[in-house]
Each structure stands twice: as structure tokens, then as C-alpha cells.
Amino acid sequence: MTRPVYFDCDTGVDDSMALAYLLASPEIDLVGIGGVHGNVSAAQGVTNTLRLLALADRGDVPVAVGRNDPLVGEFAGGAPHVHGVNGIGNIEIPATSAMPIGEDAADLLLRLSHEYDGNLEVVAVGPLTNLAVALHRDPSLAERVVRVTAMGGAALVPGNITPLAEANIAHDPEAAQAVMAASWPVTLVPLDTTLANVLDEDDRERLCTAEAPIVRAVGAALDYYFDFYVDEYGRRCSALHDPLAAAIAVGGMLPRVAPAVPVEVDVTDGPGRGQTVCDLRGQRLGPVDHPGANVRLVLETEGPLAPHMVERLLSLTAPVATVAIA
């Protein structure tokens, strides 16, 4: 039996790649998707998700709209300079008649946690608002979930939207703190590893010639995304933020250095707001788990993600019953 996965995302360019990766992964079964504010509005992200699923002929996966605002404050407007105005690099994906389900994302997650009690895995690649709302509605959720794998935070590298804070966490620090503080095991995939895993132009070109339309769409969306990373890497390429979290959740990529350590999210209004405060003291001689720490911090992976990612995405076949996409 494949493992049931709930995917929470703010569909974005790299979220799109993570989604395609999950669809291409025989180890798991995508049983529901929630949309959240972040790279784009929750509504725009859900639109992108529905269209990508339609491209893959996977309209069977229920998609729920989630929170468009963080627990404190309001949606900040997204990151059009990174992901494009529509979140997917300004590429056009055909509209679909598919609609989100009536439940909101938190209720979908709660329902799935009962349906797959003790088996459900959560992969979260946006702000953690929907997860926090679900925990707030029913704190026992944490007991029914096997693991939360979240892309977010920065431990020993600079942040990306403040000197210290990474965007997913910083867009809702209070929600992230609630998720870290809950009793479920969390695997946190921070900028430390996501920025160290890069997809290059030759990888992208392979995606653009894939058989599966969703993979070609991801390759096309990356064109815009690559421009953003020129300042970071000095060449057109991209970090693999959300795809790395997806691959670690699935098991396609293994963590090499991933100590379980106390992780607290800074919810002050100071310069550290939104940072992940990870206690990494005493790790010079090798990774040391702190007894009772429920957050495992992925600081190094077994190998570079790009080859595995490309291979798996190219393994997706074109759906039989879909219209060909240019």
C-alpha cells in the first residue's frame, strides 16, 4: 500500500515542481492538496494547482482553498519578482473546469487525518497557516499524522526575505511556531540545504522536452524563475526549495546530516521575526539529537537533488485522456 500524503502549497514555480514530483512518485498517494497564501494568493495558488493537476489528468485529487492571510496580519502580496505575477513564471496553462472542494484546507487535512489515522503524511511547502488552523481546530491532529515535512527556515545560512528569515516561516511566524510546538515529528528542510541543491539550464531544457505536459509546464515556468537566481548564483539556475522537501518526504532523497534539535520560531517584532531559532550548539563533532526534540533539521543531503529530480519527472508519462499542450 502506498503512503497517503496531504500536500499544502502556495503554488509557485518550485511548488509546481514539487507537485509534479509527488505525482510521479509511486511510493506515495496524493490524497489531498490545500492552498495557502505565500508566493501568490491562496486563490491564485489553487487555480495553478487545479490547472497543473488537469494537465496531468489527476483531477481526482481533491484541492481545498486555505487561508489567504497569516494568523497575524494580512497577505503580503506574494513574490511576483520571483514566481511571476501568476505564480508560475507567467506561463499560460489551459483553464480547467475543475473546482476546489467545499471544505477549507484545514478541514480537508483534519478529515484526511481521520480517514488515514496513523498513516497520513503531510508535506508543506508554503507558510504553515493551514496546518496551524487545523491544529487549533483539533490539537489531536498531531497524534494522527506520521510526519510533517516542511520546507522552511534558515539555520546557519542567511535568510531570504530578511537577513535571518526564510519566506515560508516569515510569512506566518505564529503558525510556524504552532507547528513546531505540536507533538508530531517535523522534518524541516531549510535554506541551508535547499540553496545547496541547484537545477541548471541543461536540466531545465530536459524538462521542457518531457513527455508529460505538467513537466513541460514546470520547465517553461522555470525560465522566469531562473532569472531571479542570477544574483544569487551568478548564472541562470534555481535553488530547489520545495522539490527538496518533497523528495525528502517521499524518501527519494535521504538526509545525511539531520539532527533533532530544539527549534523555536521568533515571533517578536524585532529584527529576528520569522527566523527559525535552532539550537545547533555542540554539533561540531557530528550530529547530536536532543532528547525529546521533535524537529529534525536537514542540514545536508546524501547527494545533489537535481539528477534524481529530473529522472523522476521525466518518468511521468503523458495522460491518455488529455488534450495535447503546446
Chain residues binding its own copies by CB under 8 A are 156-160, 163-164, 231-234, 262, 264, 266-272, 275, 277-285
How far the first Cα of the chain sits from its last, in Å, is 36
Distance CA 153, CA 280 (A): 14
Residue 218: what residue type?
V
Residue 138 annotated to the active site: no
Nearest approach in angstroms of CB 162 to its own copies is 8
251/282 with CB nearer its own copies: 282
Residue 10 annotated to the active site: yes
Nearest approach in angstroms of CB 115 to its own copies is 37
Nearest approach in angstroms of CB 1 to its own copies is 40
> Which cell numbers hold the place of 26?
509511486
Distance CA 32, CA 63 (A): 6
8/266 with CB nearer its own copies: 266
- For residue 115, what is the enclosing H or E element? helix 105-115
Dihedral, CA of residue 299, residue 301, residue 307 and residue 310, to nearest 10:
-60
Q: Which position among 10, 14, 104, 107 bears the catalytic label? A: 10
268/317 with CB nearer its own copies: 268
Beta-strand pair 3-9/120-124: parallel
Beta-strand pair 186-189/263-265: unpaired
> Which cell numbers hold the place of 289?
539529537
Nearest approach in angstroms of CB 282 to its own copies is 7
Q: Which position among 37, 83, 171, 241 bears the catalytic label? A: 241
Taking the CB of residue 143, how many other CB atoms lie within 10 A of it? 13
30/260 with CB nearer its own copies: 260
196/314 with CB nearer its own copies: 196
> Which cell numbers hold the place of 87?
505564480
Distance CA 107, CA 226 (A): 35
What distance lies between CA 184 and its chain's CA centroid? 18
Nearest approach in angstroms of CB 153 to its own copies is 13
- The catalytic site residues sit at 10, 241
